[in-house]
Amino acid sequence: MMKERDWTDGALAEDETMSAASLAIHRAPAAPSCMISGDLEAAIAALAPGARSIGLFQDRPPIAAIRIARDRTLLVGATGEPGWQGGYAISPATGLYTCFQISGANIMDALAEGTGADLAASSPAASLQFAGITCLLTRQGKMAELWVESAMATYITTWLAGRDPMKRA
């Protein structure tokens, strides 16, 4: 008999890797981050001069503004003083999103299973529906980066592992 408190699934711990369906899925350590709303150009110029705004499945440098919506971005690799700063607001966001770095020969197959979005099309926002939840999708070279709200890390770990029995590295 199963007890309602017995859970077999769990999220990957920070810096942990699993393999599933010829993929390596790594949970990256949380990077310093902040959420910006409002005048994004002014905020990026003040907090991370020279940082690029990254859209759907675009290559992400270490310090980047991952665009969520027209007036909202996740600034990764930099932080600022929380509150209103002229025409924009800053909220602490370190650990708000979990970044899963996905590599291997079957990346595009896994992404196609999770989303119907055309990843070859250009979009200024990195937001998409993946496995039924809203995520952000960037990349670093040939490695995909799937950013999920940290509360959904167990769900995405289970979804990715469900493609193949989970094998923790």
Q: 129 lies in a domain?
A: yes
Q: Which of 166, 155, 29 is nearest to 98 (CA)?
A: 29
Give the tens place of pLDDT for each residue, 119-145: 999 899 999 999 999 999 999 999 999
What residue numbers bound the domain in which 77 lies? 27-161
Give the tens place of pLDDT for each residue, 77-106: 999 999 999 899 999 999 999 999 999 998
Structure tokens at 85: 């700063």
Q: 42 lies in a domain?
A: yes
Q: Which of 53, 56, 45 is nearest to 128 (CA)?
A: 56
When divided into structural domains, the chain yields a total of: 1
Report which residue type is found at 150.
Answer: S
Q: 20 lies in a domain?
A: no
Q: Which helix (H) or strand (E) holds 9?
A: none
Q: 167 lies in a domain?
A: no
pLDDT at position 6 is 56
